[in-house]
């Protein structure tokens, strides 16, 4: 299992009239979490795309416990609990500065060959950096 932590501050434009983070913005927080999780492993989405592999989202699930508020300092814990194959699942937990769980979510992504648009296996370099965690 691989896990990483990323921190973001809620910006005014991410909130609704009540000062709560608008529900659609949690998908953006997921993206921040997974991009930074890969970066912490020494990979980047850009490098994967340059190598000819895209990772579109197939599924997106959210569970709201409490609202995140304007100017909250959020911790996004991103977990890869299962060894990837043609698909990879990311699990997210979002906490406020008091370490209160606000939100949980999951995304399922596929590895897709950029040229053909067909599913493919993850690049070997990707699997090599994850190997110590599985």
Q: Are 33 and 6 in contact (CB under 8 A)?
A: yes
Token couple for 125: 């370099």
Residue partners of 51: CB distance under 8 A and separation at least 6: 123, 125
CA neighbor of 12 nearest in space, from 64, 65, 68, 52: 68
Question: Distances in Å between the alpha carbon of 32 and those of 113, 115, 132?
Answer: 23, 26, 23
Domain covering 2-133, topology: Thiol Ester Dehydrase; Chain A (3.10.129)
pLDDT tens track, the chain, 134 positions? 999 999 999 999 999 999 999 999 999 999 999 999 999 999 999 999 999 999 999 999 999 999 999 999 999 999 999 999 999 999 999 999 999 999 999 999 999 999 999 999 999 999 999 999 99
The reported pTM is: 0.94
Q: What is the pLDDT of residue 28?
A: 97
Q: Are 29 and 92 in contact (CB under 8 A)?
A: yes
């Amino acid at each position: 299992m691989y896990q990483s932590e990323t921190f973001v501050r809620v910006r005014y434009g991410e909130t609704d009239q009540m000062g709560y983070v608008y529900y659609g913005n949690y998908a953006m927080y997921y993206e921040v979490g997974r991009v930074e999780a890969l970066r912490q492993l020494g990979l980047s989405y850009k490098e994967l795309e340059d190598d000819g592999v895209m990772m579109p989202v197939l599924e997106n699930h959210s569970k709201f416990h409490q609202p995140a508020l304007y100017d909250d300092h959020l911790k996004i814990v991103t977990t890869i609990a299962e060894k990837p194959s043609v698909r990879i699942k990311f699990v997210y937990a979002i906490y406020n500065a008091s370490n209160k769980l606000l939100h949980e979510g999951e995304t399922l992504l596929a590895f897709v060959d950029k040229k053909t648009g067909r599913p493919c296996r993850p690049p070997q370099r990707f699997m090599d950096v994850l190997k110590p965690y599985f």
